[in-house]
Amino acid sequence: MMWKKVIKFIVIASLLFSLITVWSIENWSQTAHGELPSKTAVVLHAINNNLVTLDTDIKAPEFLSPDAAKDKKVTMKRTDTTIDVGKNNDIPVRIYRYSNVENAPVIMYYHGGAFLEGYGNLESHDNVIRSLAAKTGAVVVSPGYRVAPEYVFPAAVEDSYKALEWAFHHVEKFGGNPEKIAVAGDSAGGNLAAVTALKSRDQNGPELFAQLLFYPLTTFKDTNFESRTMYDSGYYLLSRQVMLKAREAYTPEQSMWQNPYTSPLNARDLSDLPPALIITAEYDPLRDEGELYGEKLHEAGTPVETVRYKGVMHGFVSFFEIMTSGNSALQNSAEFLQEADTTSVKAKKEYNVTIQNGPSGFSRFKEEAEAFAIGAFLVGKSTFNRMMK
């Protein structure tokens, strides 16, 4: 009968499509640096082959994403404003907080983006800013600092510090406590967070209770880091080409490279700084310098915890909605900030980098299921694109 043939065809086609998807994911997972976890492989394949618009297409299925569904029920209040940073320059500032917060801790969040126009802004990092506010209950203030090539160093540093001073004087009206401010940021923003902590110490500015650094760039100097050489192709979302472009545009004079406000790793004095959590990624050119910065902080007597997430790439925290490791890093960050806010964090006797393995148990099953679902979408889209040519 015809309907039996149709069902048979659908079953065979579905099995064939599933086999192709599994084979494709396995193929995407194989790299010169070893086998990637399935979720990392499909995300990187999607990005590097321009198969998706990240903010709309690459989402885990709703039934596989209870955390994301729950987050949608959280009502956050967002305020967009501007602040004067001098010389007739205004910069945008975005503030997230619960509408009923009072005397809440404050997080200054500096977005990543290679210090360059077109590589990162408040919109590209809105999900991280909002999630930090939701997970911590803090008032999160994120400035859109000026970037190269139009504005070179020290414009971004000055804007970052001006934003901190602005928050200190104005955050109470948003329910924040000016006596409890932390700095945070990712990549270039991690650099600015570390630098702002240094600058606030040097200029007797607002006292900070913590610094949270996601895979920070810590030096502009030519330094022989293994991770910079091994993962410099750009496949892992940050290339040597972009790093050199950023250095040329943001710090056009070589004398700027060793300034502690561009290269905190090379600062002579890293004492009397707030406790730090440094999160690095296994497949990231900036991995080694972030971990070395943690060691330097430890040697100076600054309490520091450094965690390397295995199986993930540069920028993985921004993909927390679909990558378990990204969500885990944000959760660990929230716990660290709460501890730093409520207790006196002491420096450990020895410095070590904690290795955070990928998800296991049910979380691993969920991750694999999501990877298959996303992989199937990518295979289907690639097939459709080829048919339409």
Write the CATH number for 246.
3.40.50.1820
Taking 70 as the threshold, does the pLDDT of residue 19 lie above it?
yes
Parent domain of 271 = 74-275+336-352
User: Which range, of 44-58, 125-139, 162-176, averages the lowest pLDDT?
Assistant: 44-58
pLDDT number for residue 238 = 94
Q: How far is CA 215 from each of CA 25, 185, 212, rounded to the nearest angstrom?
A: 27, 9, 10
pLDDT of residue 344: 79
Assess if residue 110 is contained within a domain.
yes
DSSP 303-328: -EEEEEEEEEETTGGGGTTT-HHHHH
> Do residues 27 and 139 both lie within one domain?
no
103 lies in the same domain as 33: no
**65 or 117, which is more confident:** 117
Does 99 map to a domain? yes
pTM of the full predicted structure?
0.91
Cis peptide before 149 (omega within 30 of 0): yes
User: How crowded is residue 287: how many other Cβ atoms within 10 Å of its Cβ?
Assistant: 24
Residue 289, C-beta contacts closer than 8 angstroms, at least 6 positions apart: 216, 217, 218, 219, 223, 225, 227, 228, 265
Residue 252, preceding peptide bond in cis (omega within 30° of 0): no
15-19, 173-177, 236-240, 253-257: lowest mean pLDDT where? 15-19
pLDDT of residue 52: 64
70 or 20: which carries more pLDDT confidence?
20
Helix (H/G/I), strand (E/B), else coil: 93: strand
User: How many separate domains does the chain show?
Assistant: 2
Q: Could you tell me if 54 and 162 lie in one domain?
A: no
170 and 41, same structural domain? no
Instruction: Express as a percent the part of the chain with pLDDT over 70.
Output: 90
pLDDT of residue 231: 95
Q: How does residue 56 score in pLDDT terms, banded at 50, 70 and 90? A: very low
Which is higher by pLDDT, 35 or 12? 35
The mean per-residue pLDDT over the stretch 25-34 comes to 89
Q: Are residues 158 and 209 in the same domain?
A: yes
Q: Of the residues 29, 38, 142, 187, which is catalytic?
A: 187
Catalytic residue among 45, 186, 314, 318: 314
Confidence of residue 345 (pLDDT cuts 50, 70, 90): confident
pLDDT of 346: 83
Q: Is residue 305 part of a domain?
A: no
270 and 125, same structural domain? yes
Same domain, 188 and 224: yes
Q: Which of 46-50, 87-91, 132-136 has the highest mean pLDDT?
A: 132-136
Do 45 and 194 belong together in one domain?
no
Residue 183 in domain = yes
Q: Is residue 104 part of a domain?
A: yes
Band of the pLDDT at 389, cuts 50, 70, 90? Answer: low
Same domain, 121 and 37: no
Q: What is the pLDDT of residue 68?
A: 39
Matching residue, tokens 């320059």: 89
- What is the rounded CA–CA span in Å between residue 250 and residue 115? 6
Task: Specify whether 142 is located in the same domain as 37.
Answer: no
Tell whether 310 is covered by a domain: no
What whole-number percentage of the chain has pLDDT above 90?
Answer: 71
Q: Pick the residue with more confidence: 66 or 77?
A: 77
Residues 19-34: what's their mean pLDDT?
87
Q: Is there a contact between 295 and 264 (Cβ–Cβ < 8 Å)?
A: no
The neighbouring-strand residues paired with 136 are: none
pLDDT at 108: 98
Distance CA 210, CA 37 (A): 32
Q: Looking at the predicted structure, is the pLDDT value of residue 230 above 90?
A: yes
User: Is 314 labeled as catalytic in the residue annotation?
Assistant: yes
- The answer to the question of residue 134 being in a domain is yes
Is the pLDDT at 65 greater than 60? The verdict is no
The answer on 25 and 102 residing in a single domain is no
First to last CA, the chain: 36
- pLDDT value of position 66: 35
pLDDT at 264 over 90: yes
Residues 24 and 102 placed together within one structural domain of the fold: no
Catalytic, out of 284, 288, 318, 328: 284
> How high is the pLDDT of residue 375?
87
CB 174 within 8 A of CB 107: no
Whether 259 shows a pLDDT value over 80: the answer reads yes
Specify if 280 maps to a domain. Answer: no
- Looking at residue 63, what is its pLDDT? 35
